[in-house]
Structure 1
Amino acid sequence: MKSEGDRRRTLTAWSFLSPALILLALSVLIPAAMALVMSFTQTGLDVSEPLRFIGFANLRRLAADPMFYKVLGTTLLYLIGVVPPIVLGALSLAVLVNRAIPGIHVIRAALYTPVLVSIVVAAIAFRWLYAENGLINGWLGALIGSGFLPIDFLSNPVLALPSVMLVTLWKGLGYYMVIFLGGLQGIPGELYEAAELDGSEGWRKHLDITLPLLRPYLTLVAVISAIAATKVFEEVFLMTQGGPADSTRTLVYYVYDQAFAELEISYACTVGLALFLIVLLLTAVRLAFSDERSLI
């Protein structure tokens, strides 16, 4: 039996948690439940009309929708093109800045600065850089000479997706670098000294010591960057609007397009359900590789 003091502490804890739980329920849980219900209905714009249950019709439509498979493939390409460079790049940056040298704090702050930049500002800035009369084409024209033809980065179906990926990489590297840096600073220096005595020097000691001890951080960064890449929207919306020729149309943009352009609310909820299952799968992968040293 709980004592009066235990019950009072439990009540106090729930009192502090209740505002956050109510906000979470209103902003996440209830809308998610409503979207799940709406995916099995035919929903119109008139909220006064009752929902018309249509069973698995939207799921059958999703299974036969060629555009869904196209945007799913584009999303997977985005994930493959973003996650490995982020993991390797952020880890390399963390190793480089994990040193006690003059001005290292300034270097770390400079590398982290893109994280503080609004994604709207970053997307607009890169759109200007990619323009035919933008800075990148200007530099290339000055380097190559009069025979140079401006590159249409955002209107070329082959170049548009990598160009948008670059914004995600530029924006996220500093954030994941800090995660790796925290892990690196938790590794005792004596381990590196012992490795040097055993003949492990340079990058070899990072293969022998750093990577095994950073395995929970590697898994964490890989999974959360994969989830972020799967849910990418702002870069696509601000830079390409899903074009050209749907080459940058991702799952989240497809949900937005179906809901607010095509006004297919219930079908948009069904696509959102598929996105939820993908994110759930990535989370399950994270849990499958977790152990007692895991961060979350």
Structure 2
Amino acid sequence: MSAQAVKKESLKSKFGKGRRSEAMLGWSFMAPGLILLALFVFWPIVYSVPLAFTNYSVIDKTRFVGFDNFVRAFQDDKFLISLWNSFVYIIVVPFIQIISIFMAILVNSKVKGINAFRTAYYIPVVTSMVAVAIIWSWLLSSNGVINYLFMSLGLMDEPLGWLTNQKTALASVMFVTLWKGIGYYMMLYLAGLQSIPKDLQEAAMIDGATKFQTIRKVTIPMLKPYVFFCSLISLMGAIRVFDEVFVLTSGGPGTATLTSSLYIYEQGFKKFDFGYSSALGLIVSIIIALLSILMFRVNKKGGVNPY
């Protein structure tokens, strides 16, 4: 073997060892997070599938019941109501996306103090849901600021308990979700806007397009991959919504704000009927998977990678 070939082999061996050491270093950094995910996310998901076919309960003897839990689910009026409320919650998704896009466009400029505005818009995202619930419970109470403003403007004759009225409770909780989620999606869209080549927007302006036409014909089409991603995670979040409902209304008044996640929680951790709770969770997971597949198909036909 020539000296050149020996040199190549030694370099290949050195680079191979370097890559392996980098890979090991990467896995070692990810290991704590992966272990936590395996223990508290992946294992419960895997374990809940066979559990859904049993009558597992803390206070009862466990036995295999086949599809009885699933039959019971579709005969359970409260579960069907909670599922309907979860679907109604999807209405908030397009509003979040549209407002987030236009807010991202507004803050995507090099103006003095713009970082302060970005921070202010993002604060609700990192604020504790408990703190948010306390503030909005006060604002939406019968003697709160919202009623005071509406009555001062002559829009209402008498105070209304927004979270205690069956007609307004779900819409009020949806509004809180909208308010809290806008900043998160705004930052994602802001990242997308900053990846769009400036040349395209400048070319459109030179060709005589107005600012609005440039946004509609250039900016928003270029954001299609981000719109798809944000809409998908927002859709899944809307169906699985739990925190806002649990803290603000606990599913009341009556079943006005009872969502599927909250009902699953009640069956599992209040009634200790873990078999039935697992079956309900599996049904909701299948629904989310089907909606996600549908979104992938629709966006694939429309094209999610225009550039």
Scaled by the length of structure 1, what TM-score is found? 0.89
Q: Deviations over 1:266-292 (max 9, x none)?
A: 111111111211232344345443678
Which residue in 2 is equivalent to 1:28? 41
Which residue in 2 is equivalent to 1:166? 175
CA RMSD of superposed structures (Å): 2.4
1:124 aligns with 2:130: no
> Mind listing any 5+ residue stretches in structure 2 that lack a counterpart?
1-11
Which residue in 2 is equivalent to 1:90? 100
Which residue in 2 is equivalent to 1:63? 74
Relative to structure 1, is the Cα distance of residues 36 and 138 closer, same or farther in structure 2, using a 3 angstrom cutoff? same
Q: Which range is displaced more, 98-107 or 202-211?
A: 98-107
1:181 aligns with 2:209: no
1:99 aligns with 2:112: no
Superposition deviation, residue 102 in structure 1: 2.2
Superposition deviation, residue 223 in structure 1: 0.7
Superposition deviation, residue 99 in structure 1: 1.4
Q: Which range is displaced more, 62-71 or 277-286?
A: 277-286
Q: Deviations over 1:172-214 (max 9, x none)?
A: 1011001111111111221111111222112111111011110
Contact 2:228 2:304 in 1 (8 A): no
Inter-partner Cα distance in structure 2 for 1:238 and 1:228: 16
Which residue in 2 is equivalent to 1:211? 220
Inter-partner Cα distance in structure 2 for 1:118 and 1:22: 26
1:139 aligns with 2:149: yes
Which residue in 2 is equivalent to 1:191? 200
1:254 aligns with 2:263: yes
Name the SS for the 2:110 alignment partner: coil
Relative to structure 1, is the Cα distance of residues 118 and 9 closer, same or farther in structure 2, using a 3 angstrom cutoff? closer
Structure 2 residue aligned with 1:150, among 148, 151, 159?
A: 159
Inter-partner Cα distance in structure 2 for 1:125 and 1:74: 24
Structure 1 residue aligned with 2:245, among 214, 236, 261?
A: 236
Count residues in correspondence. Answer: 289
Inter-partner Cα distance in structure 2 for 1:99 and 1:18: 39
Name the SS for the 1:42 alignment partner: coil
Contact 1:153 1:160 in 2 (8 A): yes
Relative to structure 1, is the Cα distance of residues 280 and 105 closer, same or farther in structure 2, using a 3 angstrom cutoff? same
Which residue in 1 is equivalent to 2:210? 201
1:227 aligns with 2:240: no
Contact 1:220 1:286 in 2 (8 A): no
Inter-partner Cα distance in structure 2 for 1:286 and 1:148: 44
Q: Deviations over 1:5-33 (max 9, x none)?
A: 37666655555544433322211121112
Name the SS for the 1:144 alignment partner: coil
Contact 1:75 1:251 in 2 (8 A): yes
Relative to structure 1, is the Cα distance of residues 50 and 217 closer, same or farther in structure 2, using a 3 angstrom cutoff? same
Structure 2 residue aligned with 1:273, among 282, 286, 294?
A: 282
Q: Deviations over 1:151-170 (max 9, x none)?
A: 12112111111100111111
Scaled by the length of structure 2, what TM-score is found? 0.86
Matches within 5 A, 1:43-62: 43-46=56-59, 51-62=62-73
Contact 1:242 1:250 in 2 (8 A): yes
1:65 is aligned with what amino acid? D
% identical aligned pairs:
39
Q: Which range is displaced more, 86-95 or 68-77?
A: 68-77
Contact 1:192 1:209 in 2 (8 A): yes
Relative to structure 1, is the Cα distance of residues 7 and 196 closer, same or farther in structure 2, using a 3 angstrom cutoff? closer
Superposition deviation, residue 293 in structure 1: 4.5
Inter-partner Cα distance in structure 1 for 2:165 and 2:304: 47
Inter-partner Cα distance in structure 2 for 1:69 and 1:166: 23
Relative to structure 1, is the Cα distance of residues 109 and 14 closer, same or farther in structure 2, using a 3 angstrom cutoff? closer
> Mind listing any 5+ residue stretches in structure 1 that lack a counterpart?
none
Relative to structure 1, is the Cα distance of residues 95 and 42 closer, same or farther in structure 2, using a 3 angstrom cutoff? same
